[in-house]
Structure 1
């Protein structure tokens, strides 16, 4: 069993990102914090580190439990980390907020017609 690995490899193996290049890009853009600090993609991750991951309108705060460099099944990937209770409640609150407060234009599949634009304008004025 490994004691450390690159953060981008770990994120990919833990299935937070579909490809390793997406994980690398997220780390470079500062969307992944290790112990509340920005790091580079080659930075080592070890057991006990706290990671904050911003991805696709979701924010996870996880503690690293296991180090693996290979991408396995989702059930194995879930054993690599433990999400904090604070993170779980925040994600549930965001999901509930999104469910209750949908943007009217989000339901449109294409550019709105003239009639739909008038309906949207009437909603905004009332």
Structure 2
């Protein structure tokens, strides 16, 4: 079997599970999100062992700084995929991202408990019957 020396970058990002689909990986490359040596790379660019890449996370909170350790052109299992790259992302960046995720989680919980924006049909009927009845129901829920 032939040893792989280079692979398209979009294919490699998908194969090592940094992106869910190859289309998303190609879109990130073509939109300038994936960088090699601080320069944007196209989806068709070749990646080789030893290359250093800056790849955005799925939620876009930070960019991972990774080094290519293994080359795959077909999707592999998670343990093999994690061994295909070395993550050199700084601890400070990871800590900031964890704090942002926690803040986002809190905001989502507050939105669920609080005002949801547009009223549902039931809330609208209650409101039309009398503003006080709608407010009382909200207070009872809290």
Uncovered stretches (5+) of structure 1, i.e. residues with no partner: 116-126
1:92 equivalenced with 2:95 (yes/no): yes
Name the Cα RMSD after superposition: 2.3
1:111 matched to which residue of 2?
117
Question: Runs (4+) of structure 1 moved beyond 3 Å?
Answer: 101-105, 112-115
What's the CA shift for 1:35? 2.0
For the residues of structure 2 that align with 1:34 and 1:27, how far apart are their CA atoms? 10
Name the CA distance, whole Å, in 2 between partners of 1:78 and 1:84: 13
2:28 is aligned, of 26, 29, 37, to 26
- Normalization by structure 1: what TM-score? 0.78
Contact 2:67 2:86 in 1 (8 A): yes
Q: Give the 3 Å change call, closer, same or farther, for CA 102–42 of structure 1 in structure 2.
A: closer
- Name whichever structure is richer in strand by fraction: 1
